[in-house]
Each structure stands twice: as C-alpha cells, then as structure tokens.
Chains A and B, each alone.
Chain A
C-alpha cells in the first residue's frame, strides 16, 4: 500500500502550486516596510505610462509636510511644487499644460466661457496667474494641500492628477494590499510561476532585495439581469492588477504595477462579456483591445473605465536629502483656485 501511495504523494509535492502559508506575514512585512519608508526622508521617482503617454513625478520628501515635486508630462517638465508645512509654492514650466492639469479645463483660465470639470471654480487673481504664466514662483502661505485621506474627500481616479498620484503613491500601495487576494514572496521556482506573464525585474540574488507579488482576485462571473448584456460593473481595477513590491533592509525600494488583461482575463471577457478579440494574437495586442471594449460597456452603464497602465515607483537616497526650503523671489498669491492640487486648507475670513 505504501508503495502505491508514495508516488502519489511525491507527485503532489512536485506539482503543487507555491503554497505560501506565510501570506499574512508577508502582508505585515510590506505594511511595516511602507510605514518605515514613509517615516524617513527620501527622494522618489514615480512613472505612470498609460495610453501611449508617460507622466513622471520626481520629488523629495523631508517628511510628510515638507516635500517638493516636479511633474513631467510625456517627459516635458510642466510644473514644480514646494510644500513647507502650511505654505505652498508653485511654478509653471509649461504654462498651458500646467493649467490644464491643475484646473481640469481644456482651455486656459483667461478664455471666457471655459467649460469642463471645475468650471465652477472661482476666478483666480490675475496677478498670480500672470506670474505663473511668466514662469515665476507664486507662494500661498496657507495653500498646502491636505493629504490626510479624510480630507481628500472626492473620489479621485488615478491618472487624473499625476502630481497627487506621485506624492501619495505609498498610500496607493497600502490600498492595493487591501484589494489583493493574497501576497506571495516571489519565487521563480514555484510551479505556478508563469515567466511569460512576468514583466517585473527579478531581484539579483546578491542584492538583499526581496520581491513580493500581489495576487489579483479571480474574475467574478457577471450577474445577468433580464435580457441585459453584462456590462462589467462587478469588475474592478484590482482584478487586472499585478503588483510587485521590492523591499531591502526593511524599506520599500521599488514598486512595479501593471494593470492590464492577461490571457486568462481575455478568455473570461470573451466568454462572459461578448468581447470580440482573437485569442490567437499576441496578448500585447489582444489584452488592451479587450479592456478597451470592456470599458465601452462600462462607460455605457455609467461605470468608471479601468485604466490600463504601467507604474514604477523608485525610492532613493534614504535619509540623505537636504531640508526643504521655499524658493526665493516669489510673488504672494492665492492658489486655491487650482482644485487639482488636493483639498485646499480652509482659509480664515
């Protein structure tokens, strides 16, 4: 009897998927590393590539209330921001692009009849706008954005504001932990490791860097009601997310994220959402095409689209940054008309 059971047992051990009994421990490790990383001075580079465009935010944190950041859209720097406690300083490097980013308007502030998101925002003081357009620093003594989540208020979509996305990236990773099905320690020897789906760098064995991967929840089957077509409303970004967090000496040194459809997603979308793509073509074509069709269904039903993207967050120069100082040669102004800077502080009347 033993002779019959033993091969079966051995085969189970060989083909069993990576059984990561330490999933909770990995979650605790990552949360602790995020906390440790957020508590020290550091510089960072945040890159967000989506829809053919690339947004880059480079910045320095002295602490959570003193930081500075530069935003580049498509690698063209467009604005710089310095926050020092309650004070906000802003400078446009590309005035038109910066205004579009910070107001959400398609047309510059001065054009009458501007429409679009935020068109109800107050008309800004001419002096501050002129100074920004001429490339000067404008300083608002009480304009620092409130990044404590209870004050952010509105539901913000990633990608709407790369500046805020960049400075709050660690909080985004924390939320991704909550949305993941489980967390595993990277192991390329695991039987369920699919190298063809892995676009993240593999840590060098000598580097003391440990990579943890977030496993996405399984795609739910759609709820069909009446004769209506499934619209993908139950699908979330988390279903299409792959994230890798790299930790070294207890701190997060890098985060990678891909939001997109893999082969199993495409198969699911074809089967349940009537998506029309060929499964035989390269996944780098069919994945985005499938998600685009899904987003048409979602938007038709009033649901936010799933934003496909690649994100990289690199943390550098731990505890080696200089104190954040405000720029010299500034003009004082009220910057609260830029609602995309984050929830502005309430001002005394």
Chain B
C-alpha cells in the first residue's frame, strides 16, 4: 500500500470516533467532551502481530473535535511491514460503564455504521466477528465487554484471517 492509502486507512478509523458522537440523543446519557476522552495505553496491543509491527498512533487531535460521545477512551494502532508500509489499522474503543452500551441493539447500531455494505456476522475462535469485504480492504469488528475493536486490513495482505484471530486475543 502506498503512503496515501495508509493515511486513508488511519483517517477512516479516526472518523469513527467522531461519528459515534452523533448517536447521542438524550441529555441523560453519559457523555464526555472531546478533551475528556482518554487515549488507551500503547502497551495494550502487542509490539508485533503476524510479522507486522504495531505502532500506536496519536489520536489527540481527532478526539479534541468530539463534542459528546459514548466513548470513555479510545486508541488507534497501525500494523506495518518492515518497510513501514501500513498493512492494517486497529481501533479500540472503550464505552462508558453503563448496561445500555452492551445491549445487542446498541451494538447493532454500531455495526450498521461501519460500511455501506451490510456486514456479515461470522464466528471465529468463539467470538462473533462482523466482516465486510470491500474493493480495497476488509474490515472486522467485534465487541468484548465494554470494548469495541475495528480492524481494517489491506485486501492483498496474505494473512488477513490470521491477523484477525491473533488480534482477537487482545484483552483490554
């Protein structure tokens, strides 16, 4: 992937956080101003997965633009080859500790937003993983407790499924 496409992957992931802010309706919903959304610690993701190096990307500028959100903290990592080319990005979001954010209906709202095509619900390693396959990339989204994971992978990366399976092991 050239640097422009790698930057595009990162940008799309950053936009998701901002997009989630538009879901907020009720004033009683716990929310946070952008500056209050913490960044998840870099060491949450292993230094390398499936031969790719993980780099923690600074989302501060993007998070500062968020007015209200369901999100308590978030983090963005890129997975890169030895030559620094981005092969995948991983966004992890932590929702506020309220029961509504683990409800199937809330999660389905999120799932429906990630792609213009309807994601397919699949099973991998005991997890439910929502997948879409586009012309340039494939995405995988899953939930674990209060956390949401969104992994976007270049379509020509040869170990896409192995990367998803390894990433499923990350336990916030």
User: Which residues of A does B touch, CB under 8 Å?
Assistant: 35, 38-40, 63-65, 85-86, 141-142, 144, 146, 148-151, 345-349
Contacts and interface: CB of A to CB of B under 8 A. Distances in A.
A141 B123 contact: no
Nearest to B157: A348
A167 to B, nearest CB: 13
A150 B120 contact: yes
Given A65-B161, A142-B158, 9 more contacts: A38-B123, A40-B123, A64-B122, A65-B165, A85-B161, A148-B132, A150-B132, A150-B133, A346-B155
Interface residues of B, number: 22
Interface string B136-166: 0000000000000000000111111110010
Q: Describe A's contact surface by its main secondary structure.
A: loop
B117 interface: yes
Q: Describe B's contact surface by its main secondary structure.
A: mixed
B22 interface: no
B124 A64 contact: yes
B121 interface: yes
15 contacts: A38-B123, A39-B128, A40-B123, A63-B122, A64-B123, A64-B124, A65-B124, A65-B165, A85-B159, A86-B160, A141-B158, A142-B159, A148-B131, A345-B158, A346-B155
Contacts of B121: 35
Contacts of B134: 150
A135 B80 CA distance: 39
B125 interface: yes
Nearest to B131: A148
Contacts of B156: 346-349
B120 to A, nearest CB: 5
Interface in B4-55: none
Contacts of B126: 63
A86 B161 contact: yes
B74 to A, nearest CB: 26
